[in-house]
């Protein structure tokens, strides 16, 4: 979306959220204010980008890093879109971050975009649509995104305690981890994430995703 001053706003990244066609010209302050109000409403929508659950794969060996799987509505479509957007290189376009509160035993984890790579991809896409868009316009773009995330809250304290007490580990910044995506339609028993509730072969995997430090906002229990 472009505004009169040749500024650009891109709203991302919840997979399946595509730009409208054609590009939208914002020529007045009123139009711009309406746009930002719409963006704010979109980003604050209930459960937007929220995983239904997070399933951890691992064993009880000390030092073993457990691997997260996000259970998402339309998870299979989201997985395909992630690979389409990243040109089958999700490890370059996405990052994983996690905050674990050792005192309260809750955690929050998220799959977030690599904004530098996203900007490059955005520039490529927009130039194909409009040859009049230049690198400077894209470089000055404002980017809004909603991560794919799971916030356990205190209800998942037993999961955290079990992993830590057995000597297991969560992914740490500076490492890489595989991220599973599971379509919640493939969960057999509603509300039950125990053994037999899903077929492990139904999980789609994003491999070798970099782990980064969590943003300060992730450290709040909301």
- Kindly state whether residue 122 falls inside one of the protein's structural domains: yes
4-18, 28-42, 46-60, range with the lowest pLDDT: 4-18
Query: Of 16-20, 36-40, 120-124, 157-161, which one has max mean pLDDT?
Result: 120-124
pTM of the predicted model over 0.85 = no
- Kindly state whether residue 19 falls inside one of the protein's structural domains: no
Please give the residue range of the domain that contains residue 85.
49-140+149-219
The number of domains in the chain is 1
Reference 98, options 63, 60, 148, 145; nearest CA is 148
Residue 206, CA distances (Å) to 2, 145, 147, 156, 197 in order: 33, 20, 15, 24, 22
């Amino acid at each position: 979306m472009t505004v009169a001053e040749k500024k650009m706003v891109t709203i991302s990244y919840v997979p399946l959220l595509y730009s409208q066609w054609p590009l939208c010209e914002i020529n007045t302050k009123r139009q711009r204010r309406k746009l930002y109000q719409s963006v704010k409403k979109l980003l604050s929508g209930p459960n937007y980008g929220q995983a239904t659950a997070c399933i951890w794969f691992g064993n009880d060996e000390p030092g073993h890093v457990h691997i997260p799987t996000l259970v998402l509505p339309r998870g299979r479509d989201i997985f395909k879109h992630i690979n389409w957007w990243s040109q089958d290189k999700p490890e370059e376009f996405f990052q994983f971050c996690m905050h674990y509160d050792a005192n309260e035993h809750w955690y929050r984890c998220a799959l977030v975009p690599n904004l530098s790579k996203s900007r490059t991809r955005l520039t490529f896409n927009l130039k194909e649509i409009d040859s009049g868009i230049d690198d400077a316009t894209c470089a000055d773009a404002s980017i809004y995104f909603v991560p794919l995330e799971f916030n356990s809250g205190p209800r998942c304290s037993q999961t955290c305690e079990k992993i830590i007490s057995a000597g297991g580990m969560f992914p740490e910044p500076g490492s890489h981890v595989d991220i599973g995506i599971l379509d919640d339609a493939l969960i057999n028993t509603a509300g039950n994430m125990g053994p037999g509730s899903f077929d492990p072969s139904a999980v789609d995997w994003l491999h070798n995703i970099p782990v980064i430090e969590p943003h300060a906002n992730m450290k709040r229990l909301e």
